Amino acid sequence: MAEKVYLAIDMGASSGRHLAGLFNGKKLVLEEVYRFENGPVEVGGNLYWDLLLQWSHVRQGLRAAGAKWGGEIASVGVDTWGVDFGLLGPGDELLANPYHYRDARTNGILERAFAIVPREEIFRHTGLQFMQLNTLYQLLVMKLAGSRLLDIAETLLMMPDLFHWMLTGVKCNEMTEASTSQCYNPATGGWATELLEKFDLPCGMLGRIEQPGAALGPLRENIVGETGLTAANVVLPASHDTGSAVAAVPARSVAGETPDWCYISLGTWALMGIESPEPLINDTVLKLNFTNEGGVAQTSRVLKNITGLWLLQECRRLWNLAGRNWDWEDLNQLAADATPLVSFINPDAPDFLAPADMPKAIHKACKKTGQTAPADEGAVLRCALESLALAFRHVLSMCEELAGRRMETIHIVGGGTQNRQLCQLTANACGRRVVAGPVEATAIGNVMVQAVAAGDVADIAQAREVVRRSFDVEEYEPRNTDRWDDAYEKFLTIL
């Protein structure tokens, strides 16, 4: 086939990129077209997303892509983080800037929610893990505060749905993104309206749910004129970024065989889980606080959110504010030089969600649990990295319990694969082979779903073959597993 160009708009919580996927029928090549900074904006003590600035960047990226490929671009799709949303009122007027998921207004909301509907019943309707940032609790906070926006709103669109509407004028809710909201019922494939009514939340603003690969149609005429993308349709990828990342896991699928691999999508957060042919909604999943999120090809992503490289990112930020000017290679060397397996923390403890001083929070947590507190920056980093690796081992055991089988391989995808030290530590801690890569898994998965929708790739299994042919991965074998067995026992006492 002649080379085709697909455009992925991949928006993360700290940056966004437009990446072109050039596909010749056998191999995929990614080319970055445009990059921009992203992040929360504080106003009056609350955190918001600057939606109009984000939209301006989306258009600038489209112009940059159009200047290079123009009418050769076959389709465009947007993926973003989960849970956050915008509201449209009469005449499709945007009612407010969307809140940022780290905004403090949802502090304490879980207890208030459980007083209205028991935890077990919420899980029965949604199969989702309990996090205060979920869409359900953001809406409940608005309801309890008497927000008039809920009275006015006619349409709720999750973040990627907002951008797809801006691009096409078509309003719908993409399934993988909707599945992060705790307003979606994975067993029925529709909105959890019975649950929402128990919270007295409006259901009329929830629109039709579309699957990954659905074509929304052409760009708005003014966008075509502005960008030169005359042939591009807008096609829904797995709009939740983790959904796209998992679609790009370069695992081999054998017909009739049960997969023996799990995944970690590693970045600021680490999302670790298994791919399941159906949602798992039972007492064990509830007890382990796993989540059922939508995947590509009618699969479910049964996974757990783990605090990821946020621990290191915040340490680096604080140290560089103090004048260190360290890059990631500097941090890797500091950690490599530190004594191994001395002290550990629980990465998911509330103390690490948004501390004012991450290094101090790590130091304090070690002292509180009767361990040797890190004496310097290298020891802090080593503690954080090894604790993450041990947390992955803990979640691996849960994945195997839920799947009823041993996972022979851990696939790590995303930007965190560039931290080779953590990849090796994960292999050591878990006693499993780690396959790391590709780095740009989210954009790759976005592009490949577009290619499947176009008929250029048969299905997700073939898409993963394309990924294996097109991108290098690194493999890590376990080392010193006896020492890690002892460390894990100590880690469990800290949990």
The continuous run of DSSP H or E covering 79 comes out as strand 73-79
Instruction: Give every CB contact of residue 230 below 8 A, 6+ residues apart in sequence.
Output: 70, 71, 224
Q: What is the CA radius of gyration of the chain?
A: 22
250, 340, 347, 360, 371 from 375: Cα distances, Å: 40, 13, 19, 11, 12
**Taken in order 321, 327, 330, 332, is the CA torsion positive or negative?**
positive
**241 carries an active-site annotation:** yes
- Provide the 8-state DSSP code for 193: H
- For residue 438, whether the previous peptide bond is cis, meaning omega lies within 30 degrees of 0, is yes
CA 155 to chain centre: 24
- Token couple for 446: 């976005």
- Provide the 8-state DSSP code for 98: P
Please report which residue ranges of 149-250 form alpha helices under DSSP H: 149-152, 159-168, 175-178, 193-198, 221-227, 241-247
Q: How far apart are CA 11 and CA 38, in angstroms?
A: 8
In the chain, the amino acid numbered 167 is L
Contact 440, 434 (CB under 8 A): no
The catalytic position among 241, 456, 485, 486 is 241
Look-up: residue for tokens 């065989």? Answer: 257
Q: How far apart are CA 14 and CA 38, in angstroms?
A: 5
- Provide the 8-state DSSP code for 258: P
- Token couple for 168: 């096409």
Q: How far apart are CA 47 and CA 44, in angstroms?
A: 8
**Half-sphere exposure at residue 371, Cβ-oriented, CA atoms within 13 angstroms:** 23
Contact 376, 401 (CB under 8 A): no
Q: How far apart are CA 294 and CA 296, in angstroms?
A: 7
- Token couple for 89: 């009122």
In the chain, the amino acid numbered 230 is T
Contact 396, 334 (CB under 8 A): no
Q: Which positions are annotated as active-site residues?
A: 241
